[in-house]
Amino acid sequence: MTETEFIHRFEPAASAGSPPLLLLHGTGGDENDLLGLGKMISPGSALLSPRGRVLEHGMPRFFRRLAEGVFDEDDVRRRANELGEFVNAARQRYGIAAPVAVGFSNGANIAAALLLLKPEVLAGAILLRAMVPLSDPPKAELGGKPVLLLSGQADPIVPASNSAKLAALLSQAGASVTHRVLPAGHQLSQADLTLARDWIGNVDAKAA
């Protein structure tokens, strides 16, 4: 497998005008995990869903971690660059525009890293239960890119201070951040789906 190849699923757009989605699963997920979620959030969007290339006890992830909540930041940088190259190659192969990332947990963290390291790759992002991916991120210029950050009030993995710090970091880099803290844990709830669908509908309308 070359640097730009990921095992992945691609589903072409069913309707013109909906932004393509880059679906990024959580630890132990795969390229099939978020296809249903993508279809519910934005019916009609093209879906690009890669499988993370790092294995932790046999479970796919998008980058290595040293412990829960402690990331191997060199690997985060390397893997974000690989993922960015994959997205660029997939855009040419499938003829799609820059996608909006929809990431859950580990997938949300690599999406946040992509925003900071290779902002040109994404048109925006829905970050579900994301953490700050880099302790010393580069100075990114996000130029108003829309980002929806949905956190769980009772999340045992992501402290509230960490998700608030991520929202501030992305805002300072110029993203247009909407941060909502939901009465939920680390798992997704119906509220996540509803908020994500409404948010992407508004992004859609502005782009149209």
d(CA 207, CA 198): 14
Given the residues 42, 45, 155, 163, select the one marked as catalytic.
155
The number of beta carbons lying within 10 Å of the beta carbon of residue 171 is 15
Cβ pair 158, 130 in contact under 8 A: yes
- Catalytic, 49? Answer no
Whether the CB-CB separation of 27 and 61 falls below 8 Å is answered with yes
CB 113 within 8 A of CB 77: yes
d(CA 75, CA 10): 26
Question: Among 18, 42, 105, 151, which one carries the catalytic annotation?
Answer: 105
Structure tokens given for 155: 């999340």
Query: Active site includes 105?
Result: yes
Distance, in Å, from the CA atom of 171 to the CA atom of 204, rounded to the nearest integer, reads 21
**Residue 75 a catalytic site member:** no
Which residue is catalytic, options 8, 75, 176, 186? 186
The catalytic site residues sit at: 105, 155, 186
